[in-house]
Chain A
Amino acid sequence: MEQKSSTRSKVGVRWTQIQVKTAVESADAIANYLFENEAVGLEIQEGNDQHTLLVYFPQDDLMALRLRNLQRFISKLPNFGLPGEGFVTIEMRAYDSQDWADSWRSAFPPQQIGTQVIVAPTWHHTEFADQDEAQSDNSKILIRLDPGMAFGTGHHPTTRLSLLLLSDLEFKGREVVADIGTGSGILSILAVKMGVKKVVAIDIDETALNVAEHNFVVNDVVNKTDLRHSHGLDNTSEKFHLIIANIISQVILPMIPLYPKYLRKHGKLILSGILENESQTIRKALRDNGFRCLKERKQNEWIGILAQKGS
């Protein structure tokens, strides 16, 4: 199993998957054997008494030899005090070749959200060939966003509800907005593109802040956004025209009593990440803290709420 494989990195190579079901005790030894014999990686599916190792090799004339050598190694495991034959099974199957580097992209077509907002990955050409063209059509707003390590790709109902509630609003160019739990920055980008003066985009997760920073550059909104690493509105001195919080109810609920302090007179609040069965609690907390619910939107089991300070 130590022969060279010159075709490993080429797209279009056909693969053979070897699936090794093994007693937990032998998994490390087998994984190491595989790595020392050509494997460049493996997946471990963990069970209580058994692990499954999935390893892939290019389909070539050496597969039978690889398999024989692996079986020979497994047969020796009892000599080392590890469960071997009878505790390890091997299955092989051919794996269709795919262009793994690009095939995932088909899962991210452009999304139209409401009548106004289009979220499209940077590699995708929409009917608007470029951003300038999209901006010249006053009825549409194009957000360029590549999926990645931060929440907010537009594929989750809570983000869609926030985008819809935000796109329902009108701005006059002087509004200051807070986006709590900005994630990918998608809501901040939309707010800027709808014409607000500035967005303070806040997240506790540094990875999210890096992703948001990149997305602000791609969408040319850097000058109107202020990224902050913070827990909620702690250390914030501004008063906002609008606060957006697409988080989860357990985080939103204790923050509701704090929001009036950070909102201007008649300031608005968009809350999302609320499950339908939690919405009564959120509505009550809003009322108890002087908010009036202006609008609700629903998708699947999720609720998004637009509320205003001052009943």
Chain B
Amino acid sequence: MAKKIAGEVKLQLISGQATPQPPVGPSLAPYAINLSEFVKSFNAQTQHQMGLVVTTVITCYADRSYSFIVKSPPTAILLKQAAKLAKGSGEPNRDKVGTVTRKDLEEIAKIKLEDLNTTSVESAMQMVAGTARSMGILVN
């Protein structure tokens, strides 16, 4: 199989609920892959975490076949899990809705290190803390 890569697309989608509508349709349309099959496969592979936002990377090949991987959830989802929240605060400056510990931050930073454009866990923790504060989550 001479798999020449035509492009890679990174999407954040809701597990088990993807459709060919945007962003899936317009993001993958340039590669003319079988959208219906991708949606079906993605939903099947993520149905065990229905409703959770996940990151997926779709690799599209020159012959219009494709493969995809489901990566770890976005930082915000991991923070909500750590703080046991369904949603962040609508007014994060004023309304604090939850708390995470520095240990939580460190664990999340380590999981997300490769996505955060840094090799330093400390820098990654600062970014994760910023995301937490933007959601009304306090860091203890």
The number of residue pairs between A and B whose CB atoms lie closer than 8 Å in the complex comes to: 190
Q: 27 pairs across A/B with beta carbons < 8 Å?
A: A9-B19, A24-B117, A32-B74, A32-B131, A32-B134, A35-B12, A35-B53, A40-B17, A41-B13, A56-B21, A81-B133, A95-B22, A98-B25, A98-B26, A100-B20, A100-B21, A100-B25, A104-B32, A107-B32, A147-B37, A149-B65, A150-B65, A156-B2, A156-B4, A246-B2, A248-B1, A273-B2
Taking the nearest CB of chain B, how far is it from the CB of A19, in angstroms?
11
Binds B, one of A43-51, A189-197, A220-228, A282-290: A43-51
On chain A, the number of residues with a Cβ less than 8 Å from chain B's Cβ atoms is 65
Structural contact, A42 and B130, CB atoms closer than 8 A: no
Q: Which of B43-85 contact A (CB under 8 A)?
A: 53, 55, 61-67, 74-77
Taking the nearest CB of chain A, how far is it from the CB of B32, in angstroms?
3
Majority DSSP secondary structure for residues of A touching B: mixed
Structural contact, B27 and A54, CB atoms closer than 8 A: yes
Interface centre among A8, A41, A45, A79, by most chain B C-beta atoms within 10 angstroms, is A41
Q: Assuming the A-B contacts A56-B26, A79-B93, A148-B34, are A153 and B67 also in contact, with contact meaning beta carbons closer than 8 angstroms in the complex? A: no
Binary B-proximity of A44-84 (CB < 8 A = 1, otherwise 0): 11101100001110000000000000000100110111100
Structural contact, B130 and A80, CB atoms closer than 8 A: yes
Binary B-proximity of A135-149 (CB < 8 A = 1, otherwise 0): 000000000001111
Does A262 sit at the interface, judged by CB under 8 A?
Answer: no
Closest to A275 in B: B2
Closest to B89 in A: A36
Does A101 sit at the interface, judged by CB under 8 A?
Answer: yes
B residues at A contact (CB < 8 Å): 1-4, 9-14, 17-29, 32-37, 41, 53, 55, 61-67, 74-77, 87-88, 90, 92-93, 116-117, 126-131, 133-135
Majority DSSP secondary structure for residues of B touching A: mixed
A residues at B contact (CB < 8 Å): 2, 8-9, 15, 17, 24-26, 28-29, 31-33, 35-36, 40-46, 48-49, 54-56, 73, 76-77, 79-82, 95, 98, 100-101, 103-104, 107-108, 146-156, 158-159, 181, 183-184, 207, 246-248, 272-273, 302
Closest to A47 in B: B117
Q: Which listed residue (B3, B4, B35, B135) contacts A104, Cβ 8 A?
A: B35
Structural contact, A80 and B64, CB atoms closer than 8 A: no
Q: Which listed residue (A48, A104, A147, A159) contacts B117, Cβ 8 A?
A: A48
Structural contact, B66 and A152, CB atoms closer than 8 A: no
Report A-chain residues with C-beta under 8 Å of the C-beta of B62: 155-156
Structural contact, B41 and A95, CB atoms closer than 8 A: no
Structural contact, B65 and A153, CB atoms closer than 8 A: yes
Structural contact, B74 and A28, CB atoms closer than 8 A: yes
Q: Which listed residue (A41, A82, A107, A149) contacts B41, Cβ 8 A?
A: A149
The answer for the CA separation of A76 and B127 in the assembled complex, in Å, is 15
Q: Assuming the A-B contacts A25-B127, A41-B14, are A56 and B75 also in contact, with contact meaning beta carbons closer than 8 angstroms in the complex? A: no
The answer for the CA separation of A103 and B133 in the assembled complex, in Å, is 42
The answer for the CA separation of A152 and B13 in the assembled complex, in Å, is 28
Closest to B75 in A: A28
Report B-chain residues with C-beta under 8 Å of the C-beta of A44: 10-12, 55
Q: Assuming the A-B contacts A80-B133, A148-B34, are A28 and B127 also in contact, with contact meaning beta carbons closer than 8 angstroms in the complex? A: yes
Q: Which listed residue (B20, B37, B135) contacts A148, Cβ 8 A?
A: B37
Structural contact, B26 and A29, CB atoms closer than 8 A: no
Structural contact, A40 and B14, CB atoms closer than 8 A: yes
Report A-chain residues with C-beta under 8 Å of the C-beta of B19: 9, 40, 101
Q: Which listed residue (A26, A95, A184) contacts B65, Cβ 8 A?
A: A184
Report B-chain residues with C-beta under 8 Å of the C-beta of A100: 20-22, 24-26, 29, 35
Q: Assuming the A-B contacts A48-B117, A149-B41, are A32 and B10 also in contact, with contact meaning beta carbons closer than 8 angstroms in the complex? A: no
In addition to A42-B23, A82-B127, 20 A-B residue pairs with Cβ atoms within 8 Å of each other are A9-B19, A24-B117, A31-B12, A32-B76, A33-B134, A35-B53, A36-B90, A40-B21, A41-B11, A41-B23, A81-B126, A82-B130, A95-B22, A104-B33, A147-B37, A148-B37, A151-B61, A155-B63, A181-B1, A273-B1
